[in-house]
Amino acid sequence: MVKLSSVVKNVKTKELWMRRWTLHSFFYSLAITASTTFYQAYAIRILKYNVDEVGSLTFVNISAIALGNFIGLLLVYRFRGKRVILWKVFALINLLMWSTSGFADLTKVKWLFPFFIGVAQLAGSIGSLAYSDTIADMVLREKSIGVFSKVNVFTTTATLIGLTAGVTIFSVISDVVLAYRIYYTLSFISSLISIAFLLSLWTVTESPSLNVTPKLVASKFKEITRQEDVKHYMLYMLILTFSVNLPSALWNYYLIKVFKGDESWISINSISSTLTSMLGYYIISKLHEKLEPKKVVVASTAFISVLPTMFLFAPSLPQQILFNAYSGFTWAFLNNMINIYNLYLANNDNRIYFLAMLGILNNLTASTATKIGSSIASIGVEYMRAVFIASSLGRLASMFYALKKLDNV
């Protein structure tokens, strides 16, 4: 028989691991807030990008994730016994590249900023696969909604702190370049703290390594798509992803160039959405036993469908605040349930293949949609508005598909 003292020790060890993971996630979110929230605004304001160049930058951002998912699949399976180390190495690169990207203008080399972003996202997607595989083994399915929603409260709190710092910095400091310098320096410091907690984690659950070849990957992808529930979920995600990303390069550009907003607007808007996201995650954590994932996915997809069109009718800061409050609340429900589908829809043996395949297809779709949207928008403002409306219609189409075809998880 297993001694009670050993069981208690194992429980306490796991609790310590989970606390450190939560603290790493908190500071990771704090570090990434500045660089990911303002990278387009930085490109527009400091590097003087036009809308098509912002589209190309966003294309690099997203397509690098697709490439990282393919490379990550081969690496994580080949070194699955060392997946925590893979997570550490690539998350570290992701953090450092994002937090130092805001100093790219010092070099006077225009392509360096997209390079920083591309490397950050490539590394981040590889690290994310190793992380997801580790966490899915650490958290039981029946406890997953509650655990992830609680961690999301911590990470959104960190985001809120980072955005509040952004409002303060950009409001107090009139020199925009100096404001970016200070903000990205804070991001870099938070990155170092996040890395420290990440490096303190250890391997708790073991999984055998496997020498994965491209031929095996192709056969596994084929096997996964034969599952009806997986196939329908992936098609839903591809329709949604294309629709969501059509205007992904346009939100900040439209805000700055058409609505005449600035970084303070972006910060305040993000604070508004973050606060309501926290409320959404809190509600989910309290009701998680009563929530049916499919119903939540369908309902929240319907609610986010109106967002791109709503945005066009919110030219003032108060209207933008209300718009982002609605956006944050509705996206919280969808994001939480998508996370559940991603981690638990496929069986344990196929989980990494599924995550990688989904990541590759989603990000190729997203990067293509981004470039199409920015190219159309570069013709003129009316065409830009048409892209937002098309995004709403596409989201609505994905909702109807989910209603008819999506299985529960």
pLDDT at 291: 83
Q: Are 246 and 21 in contact (CB under 8 A)?
A: no
Per residue, what are the HEC states of 246-297? CCCCCHHHHHHHCCCCCHHHHHHHHHHHHHHHHHHHHHHHHHCCCCCHHHHH
pLDDT at 231: 92
Its sign, for the CA torsion 306, 307, 313, 317, is: positive
Structural domain for 69, as ranges: 4-405
pTM of the complete model beyond 0.85: no
Its sign, for the CA torsion 208, 214, 219, 223, is: positive
CA-wise closest residue to 294 among 260, 252, 235, 338: 338
Ranges under pLDDT 70 in the chain: 1-12
d(CA 330, CA 141): 23
Domain count of the fold of the chain: 1
Residues contacting 277, CB < 8 A, separation 6+ = 152, 156, 328, 329, 331, 332
d(CA 387, CA 308): 9
pLDDT at 287: 80
Element (H, E) at 180: helix 176-199
Give residue 282's identity as a one-letter amino acid code.
Answer: Y
DSSP 8-state code for residue 47: S
Give residue 329's identity as a one-letter amino acid code.
Answer: F
- b/e burial code for range 127-149 (CB count within 10 A of at least 16 → b): bbbbbbbbbbeebeeeebbbbbb
pLDDT tens, residue by residue, 296-317:
999 999 999 999 999 999 999 9
Domain of 333, CATH number, reads: 1.20.1250.20
**Max Cα distance, the chain (Å):** 73
pLDDT tens, residue by residue, 133-180:
888 888 777 777 778 878 878 888 898 899 999 999 999 999 999 999
pLDDT at 42: 95
pLDDT at 122: 96
Cα dihedral angle (318, 321, 323, 328), rounded to 10 degrees?
-170
Cα dihedral angle (178, 183, 185, 190), rounded to 10 degrees?
170
d(CA 165, CA 331): 23
